Structure 1
Amino acid sequence: MNASIGAGPSRVPWNKGRLTGQKPPLKLKEIWAIRVRLQLSFRVRDLVMFNLAIDSKLRACDLTKLRVRDICHGEHVASRATVMQQKTQRPVQFEITEQTRDSVAAWIRHAGLNATDFLFPSRIHDSPHLSTRQYARLVHRWIAWIGLDDTACGTHTMRRTKASLIYRRTKNLRAVQLLLGHTKLESTVRYLGIEVDDALEMAEQTEV
């Protein structure tokens, strides 16, 4: 007799009812809409997390584990930082813009953080830092705030946003590869979905 028969209810697919695939990047006006909303609501931590997510282009697992010392030199927030990626075990560099540095400095003062502290400590006692699940919830909240479909977005929306903007402005795929910390150029092509986007862009510019 087949062991699978009568073995109980079948497992529900993890992605049932969810949109899967590439998460679209935010547009400039959407970035600023979220940023202004966070500023006006005085969400100091969320503003720092949002700004750093855009600047750093880090995966959620790396962003949530940042320590103060990773982006600060003494009492000053650095303009560039390097972190070791959990997924690839390879270092990746990223820039920290002035507005992000200002928000980071304000958050460190507000939270009373020291150099060895996690930049985003968790409010849950079992975890020393914000979890990727908690971060994902925040991202969905930010997206929903400005009227976008949060089911179509996720943490990779944050990672992909600035990389996509840089590619659109420069068409320098190698630079984007380095910024994302990809080991292969093919990974960057797939991640940005640029072949399809470029083809559509050329088609839109071609009148027949």
Structure 2
Amino acid sequence: MCNLAIDIKLRGCNLMNLKVKDISHGTTIQSRAIIVQKKTGKPVQFEITEETRKSLRDWIGNKRLTSNDFLFPSRVVPNRPLTTRQHARIVDQWVTSVGLDVCDYGTHTMRRTKPTLIYRRTHDLRAVQLLLGHSKLDSTVRYLGVELEDALVLAEQTDV
């Protein structure tokens, strides 16, 4: 769940509503998939790394999930996904188990992780905007916390 959450850069509600068929064809986990975001109603494409695909194959096999099953099914309510609240509790347990503060890390931190790393490496706001499914570049700038200082450092590194 953690690997997939970081890979796909989606909100928790979208992650919890994924079905096996959203990420696979038969027993093959796709390297890329598209879903419609719940908040915006717009499609967003995401990649699934090889390590995550292996984890998902194991998960689906161990849980004996079929293509119409939710990828992360509820243990309480049949034919329903895990709730976003339960997802948050699981993330809090993981964070605590590795000695980090739950006030600093949560489900939304997982959505932000990969885009932040991509931005730091490439400084390509447009690419990050597309990956997050933001319609406005301003939203991506605010989301990443890009500040004037970041822009000035980039300007100082650019000779014309």
Compute the TM-score of the two structures, normalised by the length of structure 1: 0.70
Once structures 1 and 2 are overlaid, which stretch shifts more, 127-136 or 57-66?
A: 127-136
Q: Which residue of 1 aligns with 2:81?
A: 129
CA-based RMSD of the aligned residues comes to 1.7
Residue among 15, 35, 43 paired with 1:63 = 15
Q: 1:74 to 1:148 in 2, by over 3 A?
A: same
Q: Which residue of 1 aligns with 2:46?
A: 94
Residue among 115, 134, 153 paired with 2:105 = 153
* Residues 1:108 and 2:60 are matched in the alignment: yes
Q: How does 1:1-208 map to 2 (within 5 A)?
A: 49-125=1-77, 128-195=80-147, 198=150, 202=153
In 1: Cα distance, 2:113 partner to 2:149 partner: 14
1:125: Cα distance to partner?
2.1
1:140: Cα distance to partner?
1.1
8 Å contact kept, 1:120–1:129:
yes
1:52: Cα distance to partner?
0.5
In 1: Cα distance, 2:149 partner to 2:55 partner: 33
State the percentage of identical aligned residues: 60
How many residue pairs get aligned? The number is 154
Structure 2, unpaired ranges of 5+: none
Compute the TM-score of the two structures, normalised by the length of structure 2: 0.91
8 Å contact kept, 1:140–1:151:
no
Structure number with larger C-alpha Rg: 1
8 Å contact kept, 1:139–1:155:
yes
1:196: Cα distance to partner?
6.0
Q: 1:197 to 1:144 in 2, by over 3 A?
A: farther
Deviation per CA, 1:164-205, whole angstroms, max 9, x where unpaired? 001111111000001001111111111110216726x94xx9
Q: 1:127 to 1:191 in 2, by over 3 A?
A: farther
Deviation per CA, 1:107-157, whole angstroms, max 9, x where unpaired? 110000100100000111277110000011111111111211112222110
Structure 1, unpaired ranges of 5+: 1-48
Q: 1:127 to 1:72 in 2, by over 3 A?
A: closer
In 2: Cα distance, 1:196 partner to 1:144 partner: 34
In 2: Cα distance, 1:50 partner to 1:126 partner: 23
In 2: Cα distance, 1:94 partner to 1:160 partner: 14
8 Å contact kept, 2:70–2:79:
no
In 1: Cα distance, 2:35 partner to 2:25 partner: 14
